């Protein structure tokens, strides 16, 4: 059984209010504070991450780097999956 989503987790955005048209699909976000329960969407989380967009009053999307997401719109990223990958950096001197 997978551990439920909680504050501090990283998650992949898999849906949104616009369903498959959401510009946030595919972004990796940091899960923040639980904002409570929505009557239709369930638990709502405030998340942060580069490139998160929200719809402005004008009907266009604006990059805010933060937004609110239902649990069902997020897929938790297992922290153990990244544990086995080491990043190597090489410096180049000229």
* pLDDT surpasses 60 at 86: no
Specify whether the CB–CB gap between 12 and 25 falls below 8 A.
no
Specify whether the CB–CB gap between 80 and 50 falls below 8 A.
no
Q: Name the pLDDT band for 90 (thresholds 50, 70, 90).
A: low
pLDDT digits (tens, 9 = 90+) for 3-52: 889 999 999 999 998 888 899 999 999 999 999 999 999 999 999 999 99
Query: What is the per-residue pLDDT for 82?
Result: 55
């Amino acid at each position: 059984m997978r551990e439920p989503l909680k504050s501090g987790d990283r998650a992949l955005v898999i849906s949104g209010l616009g369903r498959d048209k959401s510009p946030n699909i595919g972004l990796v976000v940091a899960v923040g504070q639980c904002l409570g329960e929505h009557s239709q969407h369930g638990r709502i989380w405030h998340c942060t991450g580069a490139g998160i967009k929200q719809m402005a009053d004008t009907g266009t999307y604006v990059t805010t780097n933060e937004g609110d997401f239902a649990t069902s719109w997020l897929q938790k990223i297992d922290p153990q999956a990244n544990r086995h990958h080491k990043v190597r950096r090489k410096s180049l001197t000229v």
